[in-house]
């Protein structure tokens, strides 16, 4: 069965570039291309949601040049998506605190999300200035502001991901086996797949392998079989 929602921590861009004697930023550019290919593949095989971690609340600590390259890649991707979204059948949503982003990026995000409302097809969720803890804290604070009880349902409805089903499968390429503040709430019952392949080397075949591994797992959601 194809998972309905796949989430990916796009890790290993920097190492991929270094191994080729290139600046780290070249790894992010290669990573953005791979995201494009994997999103198209996900759409073709019937995935409903693909969520990727593009920039975390902690990534601001990186050198200024690297941060601005990632922001430029996101701007480029969103600007191109505006042109092609209706034709490609991929909707876009951005998850994270976008208030810290440039005005240009915020305008592009607003425009892509507006077009997405009339497009049918797979949804790509791009996490930008996203942190799982930050998201949960904000949702709890919003419960208080709204004067509602802090329940799972009320938190869920106030997360950046409100309305998006929880990920079935979380993939982390790049050899590390940690969650790095990604979808902490949503991945409570997700299956995890780790691979040493660096994100810029990740292919649709590798995704097939992750899905095959996922299909061998027995999901019990805390119950018994």
Chain residues that interact with ligand FPP, rule: CB under 6 A: 10-15, 28, 31-32, 35, 52, 54, 59, 70, 73-74, 77, 126, 174
Shortest distance, CB of residue 113 to ligand FPP, whole angstroms?
A: 15
Are 8 and 83 a contacting pair, CB within 8 Å? Answer: no
- 199: Cβ–Cβ under 8 A, 6 or more apart, which residues? 8, 10, 11, 12, 13, 16, 31, 34, 173, 174
CB of residue 188 to ligand FPP, shortest distance in Å: 24
Q: How far apart are alpha carbons 178 and 183 in whole angstroms?
A: 12
Nearest to ligand FPP of 11, 191 (CB atom): 11
CA distance 219 to 128: 30
Residue nearest ligand FPP by beta-carbon distance: 14
Shortest distance, CB of residue 27 to ligand FPP, whole angstroms? Answer: 6
59, 154, 156, 181: which one is catalytic?
Answer: 59
Q: Which is nearer to ligand FPP, 81 or 210 (CB)?
A: 81
Task: Give ∠ CA 113-198-85 in degrees, rounded to 5.
Answer: 20
- Phi then psi for residue 93, to 5 deg, are -140, 145
Catalytic residue check, 11: yes
Taking the complex as a whole, the smallest distance from the CB of residue 223 to ligand FPP amounts, in Å, to 35
Give DSSP secondary structure letters for 111-140.
HHHHHHTT--SEEEEEEEEE-HHHHHHHHH
Q: In the complex with ligand FPP, which residue's Cβ is closer, 3 or 174?
A: 174
Nearer to ligand FPP among residue 105 and residue 211 (C-beta)? 105
- Examine the residue annotation and report whether 166 is marked as an active-site residue of this protein: no
What residues are annotated to the active site? 11, 59
């Amino acid at each position: 069965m194809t998972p309905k929602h796949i989430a990916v921590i796009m890790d290993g861009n920097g190492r991929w570039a270094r191994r080729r004697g290139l600046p780290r930023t070249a790894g992010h550019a290669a990573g953005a291309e791979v995201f494009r290919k994997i999103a198209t593949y996900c759409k073709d095989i019937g995935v409903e949601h693909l969520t990727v971690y593009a920039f975390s609340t902690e990534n601001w600590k990186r050198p200024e040049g690297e941060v601005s390259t990632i922001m430029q890649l996101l701007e480029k991707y969103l600007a191109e998506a505006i042109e092609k979204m209706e034709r490609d059948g991929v909707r876009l949503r951005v998850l994270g605190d976008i208030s810290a982003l440039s005005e240009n990026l915020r305008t592009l995000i607003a425009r892509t999300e507006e077009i997405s409302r009339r497009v049918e097809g797979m949804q790509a969720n791009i996490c930008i200035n996203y942190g799982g803890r930050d998201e949960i804290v904000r949702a709890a604070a919003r419960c208080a502001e709204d004067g509602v009880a802090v329940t799972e349902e009320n938190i869920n409805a106030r997360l950046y991901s409100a309305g998006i089903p929880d990920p079935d499968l979380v993939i982390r390429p790049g050899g590390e086996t940690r969650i790095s503040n990604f979808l902490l709430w949503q991945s409570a019952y997700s299956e995890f797949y780790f691979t040493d392949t660096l994100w810029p080397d990740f292919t649709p075949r590798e995704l097939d392998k992750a899905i095959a591994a996922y299909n061998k797992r027995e999901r019990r959601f805390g119950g018994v079989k």
